[in-house]
Amino acid sequence: MSEAAIAVTDLHAGYEGALVLHGVSVQAAGDEIVSIIGPNGAGKSTLLKAIAGIVRPTEGTVEFGGEDVTGMRADRLSRRGLGFVPQLDNVFPSLTLAENIRVGAQALPREERRDAINAVLDLFPLLRERSRQRAGTLSGGQRKLVALARSLVARPTMLLLDEPSAGLSPQATDRVFEELERIRDRGIGIVMVEQNARRALALSDRGYVLDMGRNAHEGTGAALLDDPRVAELYLGSMTAPPRASRPA
């Protein structure tokens, strides 16, 4: 693992005075996929939102690129290279695909936007083919790809993804996870919250298990898949998918 691009230390955060996270610590390098798994209500999405500047921590620190960014606004973090793709409301449904991508490019200097947009359209040919189609008419899987593209056009060094496979068919899930591998292989780190724990860990270099707002387990994706305690408590009886081609 290279030097941590994100380092979260002893983070406490919640909503309207009700704490959800109780001293969570995670790290993610810029060359890996890190999955955050755990039961509903464990604080996984709150953790992403606290890193992304949407929820303000009450204690602890968030470092990004070696700098303390705890509580920094989401738009400032985006300009520093931290992208966030929420589970819901991740596209502008009344805008065309081309317009959605242009919105993402606004974080860049004007002279860089055209090249960045063309690079993303080369990565996602579907968006070029359907550039005039409104995002609200797309399938769930296609919307997820638009949301990924809109984040990538801002040239992030790290992506935070909240439930990238939520609500998708198995085929659409395969497509999205294939794209995540491609993104990682282009040198963009990924931290994702994912309910499909086995699939996420199989793809991930490392993983963290949260339970009741606290760290419960951590390790490589392969080690967590093979840990009988993790399997019994958090992975259920789902059949494990084939391991990702890149070793964890």
The predicted-structure confidence for 67-84, as pLDDT tens digits, reads as follows 999 999 998 998 899 999
Residue 209 φ then ψ, to 5°: -105, 125
Residue 96 gets which letter from DSSP? B
- The mean per-residue pLDDT over the stretch 212-241 comes to 85
Domain spanning 4-235: which CATH class is it, in words?
alpha beta
Residue among 21, 80, 68 at smallest CA distance from 48: 21
Domain boundaries, the chain: 4-235
Average pLDDT over residues 104-121: 92
pLDDT digits (tens, 9 = 90+) for 182-197: 899 989 999 999 989 9
Structure tokens at 215: 């760290």
Beta-bridge mates of residue 7: 27, 63
Average pLDDT value for residue range 83-97: 89
Chain segment 8-38, per-residue pLDDT in tens:
999 999 998 799 999 999 999 999 999 999 9
Using pLDDT thresholds of 50, 70 and 90, give the confidence band for residue 175: confident
Q: What is the mean pLDDT of residues 145-170?
A: 91
Q: 248 pLDDT exceeds 50? A: no
Amino acid at 28: A
Q: Is the pLDDT of residue 243 over 50?
A: no
Query: What DSSP designation does 134 have?
Result: B
